[in-house]
Amino acid sequence: MEAFKWFYGFFKPYKKRYVFGLFLVTLATLLSFVNPYVIGIFVDDVMTEGNISMLKYVLIGLIGSTVIKTSIRWKYLVLFEQCSQDILHNMRDKVYRKFMRQDFAFFNRNRTGDLMSRQIGDMDAIRHFTATFFAIYEAIIYFVVALIMCFTVNVKIGFYMLTVLPFTLILTLFQFKHVEKCFARIRDCFSSLNAFVQENISGNRMVRAFAKEDYEIEKFNKENEAYRKSQLDATRVWSNYIPIFEFLSNALTVVLMFVGGKMAIDGNITTGDLVVVYNYLWMLNYPLRMSGWYINDTQRFLTSLDKIHKTIKDRPNIRRPIEAIANPDLHGDIEFKNVSYQPEDDQNFDILKNVSFSIKKGQTLGIIGATGAGKSTAVNLLCRFYDATEGEITIDGIPIKDIDIYWLRDNIGMAMQDVFLFSDTIEGNIAYGDPNCPFEKVEWAAKTAGAHEFIQKMPEGYDTIVGERGVGLSGGQKQRISLARALLKEPSILILDDTTSALDIETEHMIQENLKALDKECTKILIAYRISSIMEADLILVLDKGRIVEQGTHEELLAQKGYYYSVFHHQYGDFREGRL
């Protein structure tokens, strides 16, 4: 019921148009009853009585009703299709916007393929039902009015036609109940198959690198087989009911032939009336034959609607503050005050524990530590991709939870550890943060990031299209484009999460010198495994199991002869100077 109320919100703006469409369906359906009536007149008056003068009126009635009915049918078909497409457009837009506002935790819980199936397969099932619901409505009118017309022709025949109705209702309820679970299983299997295919296509290089094509094909076959089986299970359900509906519809013909024929022979009904009832018979048969199919469409619609609603009803944990500080002029003074973070799925594990430090505007903070020490988590908390479970983070003395979340992130330039490039030109990827910026600014950002030289050597320079996720570029090239994208925003805070790990020492040193010469003074946070990347930072934090175990400048940390000292000597042997 909750999911249907949500759907009604999209349907409501088109309610009047939809009701008007159903009114047209009613007119067209009622016009269908004209022809049997006219044919009855033709049999009794023209053929039996020989009243030839009635023939022209019969032809006018048949042709006129057919032309009007066809015109109305064309109108409402177009109307329903337009309504369904508009509803689908608005719903898909709303759901996509909802996805874009979700936090990292949401995407950790939901696979990409599942979300794609919500936006494609389930959406199309809703559109199909919305566009073809008139057929169910039309079938109901056919059955009810045809039954009434049978009673007007002859009450006894009407009651005989009514005998199949209880059986039809019982079968409809049974099929609806049985097919519900089948369609839920189909949607689950479709989502799983979609997620598997999306993941393997994205990771096709890894599959080939490990020569695991046969292994992945075997896994795909299992997913594909599960989806096929779910479809066949549903088919078995409705295939058990469809023949019964067909039998009941044909049973009406037998009843009419036996009862109506005997009544016509006995003179209790005219031949014309018998022909009229026979023509009404297909209007009774049609809903019965189609009942199984309509139940399938209805259940598919309800299942898809429920799947979509369950996916988007989750509210993000990270939300804009109700009374956000509007457009604060962020300078870049950062302070962590006893910050701790526990993931949602493991409340007994602290990724960060009592982390406290502060840096001033324009300073550089270096963070180093073993894998899983909490380095990336610290900057994720700063960007409010997650919220700290304890403690407070402030920028310029303002708690980040009080700052408008979009303004906060717009003031932060971030080159992530896992570089993601869009299937766009190199210029488009660099200018992603400011698509309307002049080309000169793109070129400046590329030069600062050390990317300009290799970009110029490409076939079309900055207009070169990079493949999905940057396929075709080396790791170092992708890192430099990612860095250029972050620099182009000219942010107050620049975060480089292991951004130069794929670069040689000379290129890394050149980029560091370019960063020092930035026109806009910004606070820099450098996460790295190489000492060379952070040794000139104003403050260096050494993290271990979510805690700060050492902090200070390069020289101070070497003097402590702890973890940092050990890493330095592992990387540079007996070289003991503070500069490389």
Same-domain pairing of 268 and 351:
no
User: Residue 176 burial by CB count (10 A; 0-12/13-18/19+): exposed, middle or buried?
Assistant: middle
pLDDT confidence of 578, banded at 50, 70, 90?
Answer: very low
* Alpha-carbon gap, residue 165 to 167, rounded angstroms: 5
Identify the CA nearest to 271 among candidates 28, 41, 551, 539.
Answer: 41
Same-domain pairing of 110 and 240:
yes
485 falls within a domain: yes
123 falls within a domain: yes
Domain boundary among 463, 489, 515: 489
Same-domain pairing of 168 and 299:
yes
* pLDDT surpasses 70 at 213: yes
Same-domain pairing of 282 and 133:
yes
579 falls within a domain: no
Which residues does residue 494 pair with via DSSP β-bridges, in sequence order?
413, 524
Same-domain pairing of 388 and 465:
no
Identify the CA nearest to 427 among candidates 418, 438, 417, 416.
Answer: 438
Domain boundary among 439, 455, 489: 489
Same-domain pairing of 215 and 364:
no
Q: Residue-wise over 142-170: b if at least 16 C-beta within 10 A, else e? A: bbebbbebbeebbeebbebbeebeeebee
The residue range of the domain holding 388 is 334-411+491-572
What is the tens place of the pLDDT at every residue in 339-386? 999 887 666 677 889 999 999 998 889 999 888 888 888 998 998 888
- Beta pairing, strands 398-399 & 390-395: antiparallel
319 falls within a domain: no
User: Residue 326 burial by CB count (10 A; 0-12/13-18/19+): exposed, middle or buried?
Assistant: exposed
Q: Identify the residue whose tokens are 């992603």.
A: 432
443 falls within a domain: yes
320 falls within a domain: no
* pLDDT surpasses 50 at 318: yes
- Mean pLDDT for all residues in the chain: 81
CATH of the domain at 484: 3.40.50.300
What is the tens place of the pLDDT at every residue in 457-504? 888 888 888 866 556 677 788 888 888 898 898 888 999 887 776 666
Number of domains within the chain = 3
The pLDDT assigned to 57 comes to 67
What is the tens place of the pLDDT at every residue in 196-208? 777 777 777 677 7
What is the tens place of the pLDDT at every residue in 114-160? 788 788 888 888 998 998 888 889 888 888 887 787 777 777 777 77
pLDDT confidence of 106, banded at 50, 70, 90?
Answer: confident
Same-domain pairing of 83 and 113:
yes
Same-domain pairing of 391 and 470:
no
Same-domain pairing of 46 and 122:
yes
CATH of the domain at 37: 1.20.1560.10
Higher pLDDT, 521 or 172: 521
Same-domain pairing of 359 and 267:
no
How long, in residues, is the chain? 580
- Beta pairing, strands 547-552 & 539-544: antiparallel
What is the tens place of the pLDDT at every residue in 156-180? 777 777 776 677 777 777 766 777 6
Same-domain pairing of 455 and 355:
no
The pLDDT assigned to 425 comes to 87
* pLDDT surpasses 90 at 420: no
35 falls within a domain: yes
Cα R_g (the chain), whole angstroms: 36
* pLDDT surpasses 80 at 29: yes
- Residue 192: Cβ within 10 Å count: 19
Domain boundary among 470, 489, 508: 489
327 falls within a domain: no
Same-domain pairing of 73 and 185:
yes
187 within 8 A of 120, measured Cβ to Cβ: no
